[in-house]
Amino acid sequence: MCQQLAASQNPQIQAWAQEAMVFLSAKSESTPEKETTPQKPTLTPEQAAQLLQSIQKIYLNRSYTKAC
């Protein structure tokens, strides 16, 4: 799903999807003993909230192809 969203023409959706892929791949490669340092977010809390609302709206309307 992240790969499909990363191909979106909406730059905010692309950025979110790319960050999600990096985060998820890092989580799957790490072991419980490893301690990771938090990364600085690239979106402000307001931007993140707006992006999340957009993604939720797309999901609830099942309009995935329209978003990409």
* Residue 19: inside a domain: yes
Q: Token pair for residue 11?
A: 């730059």
Domain that holds residue 11: 2-34+44-67
* Residue 39: inside a domain: no
* Residue 52: inside a domain: yes
Count of structural domains within the chain: 1
To the nearest 10°, the Cα dihedral for 18, 20, 26, 30? -170
Regarding pTM above 0.85, the answer is no
pLDDT band at residue 16 using 50, 70 and 90 as cut-offs: confident
Output the pLDDT for position 24.
Answer: 78
66 vs 36: CA distance, rounded Å: 36
19 vs 46: CA distance, rounded Å: 17
Would you say residue 12 has pLDDT above 80?
Answer: yes
Q: What is the mean pLDDT of residues 35-57?
A: 80
Q: What is the mean pLDDT of residues 17-39?
A: 70
23 vs 25: CA distance, rounded Å: 6
